[in-house]
Amino acid sequence: MKHNIVVAIDGTSASGKSTNSKLVARGLGFVYVDTGAMYRTLAWYCLQKGVDVSAAKAVGAACRKWKTQLACVEVDGLRCARLLVEGYFPEKEIRTPETAAAVPHVAAVPKVRDWMKKTQRDCIQFGHLVMEGRDIGTNVFPETDYKFYLDATLAERSARRAADGVNENLAARDRRDSERAAAPLMIALGARVINNSNLTSAETSKLLLDDLRARLPAGSFLQ
């Protein structure tokens, strides 16, 4: 288990992390891990329990007490690591505007990030991973040799959000992510930076897959 491989894909909001991480995981035959969904799940849980998400101590206490477990499930042929709450994965609930608004508050709590780091590292039990997030290469798996940082212009990322029907101030989100005290968003040492402002998902994922197939140990991925 200690020899399992981790591909870390970090980046800004709307930089294509989710889409490309899934494409890369599918292309390699690795397990896909959406760490953002884990923070969203805690945000949803806090809202369900009436926890004030702006109160760091209350959020930290909720994170210590909730009953969770990791599971590896297959979704449309892709193996995905998921964080279950009392056996349940709130797939739709964590994508609501209310949950999205609560996530930055929850994610800024140091105790939460400590808990998430441990839990996310435990996903290695499921095999080789493609893990997307904002601090994978810097904080969760800094030792991995396979680090990428996706980005695009603010205008392009805002257009992508708008196309999805989401109105979000990405400049403010970038600022919060990069300035938070606990595991801020930054480019990991040794990460390959890819600006995909003018690239399709297919083109971006091909860059990632070509790089990885050239460097990964023989026999560790699908041919």
Is 220 domain-assigned? Answer: no
β-pairing, 68-75 with 192-195?
Answer: unpaired
* DSSP per position, 160-209: HHHHTT----HHHHHHHHHH-SSS---PPTTPEEEE-TT--HHHHHHHHH
pLDDT at res. 166: 79
Q: Is residue 60 part of a domain?
A: yes
pLDDT one digit per residue (tens) for the chain, 223 residues: 458 999 999 999 899 999 999 999 999 999 999 999 999 999 999 999 999 999 999 999 999 999 999 999 999 999 999 999 999 999 999 999 999 999 999 999 999 999 999 999 999 999 999 999 999 999 999 999 999 999 999 999 999 988 888 788 888 888 888 888 888 889 999 999 999 999 999 999 999 999 999 999 999 998 7
Per the domain annotation, does 96 fall within a domain?
Answer: yes
Residue 1 forms part of a structural domain: no
Instruction: Tell whether 189 is covered by a domain.
Output: yes
What are the angstrom distances between the C-alpha of 138 and each of 37, 93, 141, 170?
Answer: 19, 29, 7, 21
Q: What residue numbers bound the domain in which 176 lies?
A: 6-215
pLDDT at 195: 97
Q: Is residue 210 part of a domain?
A: yes
| CA dist., res. 152 & res. 181, Å (int) | 24
Work out how many domains the chain is built from and give that number: 1
Domain of residue 180, CATH code: 3.40.50.300
The answer to whether residue 223 is domain-embedded is: no
